[in-house]
Structure 1
Amino acid sequence: MSKWKEAVVKRIEQRSPTVRSFWLSLPDRERLEFRPGQFLTLDLPISERRRERWRSYSIASAPDDTNEAELCIVQLPGGKGTHYLFEEAAVGTELLTKEPGGVFTLPERPLDYDVVMVCTGTGVAPFRSMLLQRLGHETRHFHLIYGCRTPEDLLYRDELERLAEEFSNFTYTATLSREMPANETPFEVLPGYVHQVYERDYAEVRSDVRFYLCGWSQMVDEARERLLKMGYAEEQVILELYG
């Protein structure tokens, strides 16, 4: 049996000037099973060489009773994969995908530590999936620290604000490196970068916290180095790199 499965684009939505969500369905099943934090690998028609066609994208939706998954994808300058998805793919386009993969996930048991989610750009996608599944079922605290350039780059902004208001064990902090919002927001927004937030809020080293880092490799590498210098152990820092 082939490991590649048929997938169909069911819906496309513009999330920001450079980011779109693509909903894919797998018609060979009634329900798509995956763990929040996992990704789908697509085989795109962009090269004669197989491995040059493969692109992996984190699943942004939470598991439900459908056979669909939402992928949140940024258009990369010169990127063949995103050029195809943004310029050629449409509702009804058929693609090939593998089963969900990846180990950037929370334990399936109830958590015995707080979770600090540090991300930039579309790195918020796996964290959204985790939050939608776990909030309301966990007693430990979740803190999302989300870095972007401008307010319009903050993905899922309204939803994350609503979750922060609804759940007392969820904190949402945004950092903006180029432009601050014109009006006050109900959540904390700081000028600068994500590093200043976890260095401020977690300066006192704790054993009951885990840092999940997701986004561009430069941010993830720097955050890991800073957290280790602060005194956190290797096993307290979990990584997912984008490029």
Structure 2
Amino acid sequence: MVVDNKAVVSYINVLKEDLAIFRIKPNEGQVPDFKPGQFVTLGVNVPSEGKVIRRAYSIASPPQQKKYFELIIRWVKKPVPGRLTTQIFDKKEREDVFWVKPTGIFTINEKLPSGDPDNRRLVLIGGGTGLAPFVSYSLHLKAVGSKREIIVLHGASYVDELSYRDLLAGLEEESLDKGKDVWNFRYRASISRPQEWFNRSWSGHTGRVETFLRPKPGMDKSPLEELVGETISPENTS
């Protein structure tokens, strides 16, 4: 049986018309324990349908954040408006929603099949809102003092869809300041429509996010391998 818990929308950051960051604050108690990479089910009462509509969203905040869940949500507008996302984007701060406790198996491997600690670098590749679990991974690993090398690769069509660009760039800057022996983190983004007027300020990597994994014409190594300085293999990368 699904148990709907009450919450309020405590914060909304609209990045563009159909993309926003929401914080969902439980009405009672703290955010329960969960693992980075898991999702929370969000619900909204829709009077016209006479029921609560629910959808699952990956959690972007780390487990250490006990005041709220942070979610990055895209408003589904085509081919027809999304039943839940349309309701969510109509919400104002301090309005009510429901949530169901986090679950999911898209979590960090901490041990190898042999039982030994998994100290391989983490390469986290996401497009659009698919970045959310990797933000949670990164903030969690930083909070627990992990020494693993972490590389986040994010792809989007437009610059304003790089939802956590400032946060992740800040994590990389902290890595450079403190040294990789303390915090080893790098972030790279790619824009797939560089010719669009809205992307006129972009001077970084272009193409879909998977182009980080393919060597450019005339090159032996992919952009990712150039970044890490070695060939990527299952032995050194998770």
Question: What TM-score do the two structures reach when normalised by structure 2?
Answer: 0.76
Conserved 8 A contact 1:151-1:181? no
Conserved 8 A contact 1:32-1:69? no
The SS at the match of 2:41 is strand
Q: Which AA in structure 2 matches 1:42?
A: L
Q: Aligned equivalents of 1:204 and 1:141: distance in 2?
A: 13
Structure 1 residue 81 corresponds to structure 2 residue 99: no
Q: CA deviation at 1:120?
A: 0.6
Query: Aligned residue for 1:182?
Result: 201
Q: Aligned equivalents of 1:53 and 1:209: distance in 2?
A: 39
The SS at the match of 2:84 is helix
Q: Aligned equivalents of 2:89 and 2:208: distance in 1?
A: 28
Conserved 8 A contact 2:7-2:96? yes
Q: Which AA in structure 1 matches 2:146?
A: E
Query: Aligned residue for 1:205?
Result: 233
Conserved 8 A contact 2:41-2:56? yes
Q: Deviations over 1:174-231 (max 9, x none)?
A: 11111255265xxxx3110111112313554332312xxxxxxxxxxxxxxxxxxxxx
Q: Which AA in structure 1 matches 2:235?
A: S
Structure 1 residue 114 corresponds to structure 2 residue 142: no
Q: Aligned equivalents of 1:31 and 1:45: distance in 2?
A: 21
**Distance 1:27-1:49 versus aligned 2 partners, 3 A rule:** closer
Q: CA deviation at 1:30?
A: 3.2
Q: Deviations over 1:18-61 (max 9, x none)?
A: 211111111221343221111111222247486x8221111111
Q: Deviations over 1:3-25 (max 9, x none)?
A: 22112111211133421111111
**Distance 1:24-1:108 versus aligned 2 partners, 3 A rule:** farther
Q: Aligned equivalents of 2:31 and 2:75: distance in 1?
A: 29
List alignment gaps of at least 5 residues for structure 2. 112-116, 215-221, 226-230
The SS at the match of 1:40 is strand
Query: Aligned residue for 1:94?
Result: 96
Query: Aligned residue for 1:157?
Result: 165
Query: Aligned residue for 1:226?
Result: none
Q: Aligned equivalents of 2:134 and 2:65: distance in 1?
A: 20
Conserved 8 A contact 2:159-2:202? no
Q: Look at both structures and tell me which one has the larger radius of gyration over its CA atoms.
A: 2
Conserved 8 A contact 1:147-1:175? yes
Q: Deviations over 1:88-125 (max 9, x none)?
A: x2222222211011111114566421111110111111
Identical aligned pairs, as a percentage? 30
List alignment gaps of at least 5 residues for structure 1. 211-243
Q: Aligned equivalents of 1:183 and 1:147: distance in 2?
A: 13
Question: What TM-score do the two structures reach when normalised by structure 1?
Answer: 0.75
Q: Aligned equivalents of 2:161 and 2:65: distance in 1?
A: 30
Q: Which AA in structure 2 matches 1:13?
A: N
The SS at the match of 1:44 is strand
Conserved 8 A contact 1:16-1:155? no
Q: Which AA in structure 1 matches 2:83?
A: K
Conserved 8 A contact 1:149-1:176? yes
Q: Aligned equivalents of 1:162 and 1:12: distance in 2?
A: 21
Query: Aligned residue for 1:11?
Result: 11
Q: Which AA in structure 2 matches 1:131?
A: S
Aligned pair count?
A: 204
The SS at the match of 1:117 is strand
Query: Aligned residue for 2:43?
Result: 43
Q: Deviations over 1:101-151 (max 9, x none)?
A: 111111456642111111011111111111111026222211111000121
**Distance 1:23-1:45 versus aligned 2 partners, 3 A rule:** same
Q: Aligned equivalents of 1:114 and 1:16: distance in 2?
A: 33
Query: Aligned residue for 1:130?
Result: 137
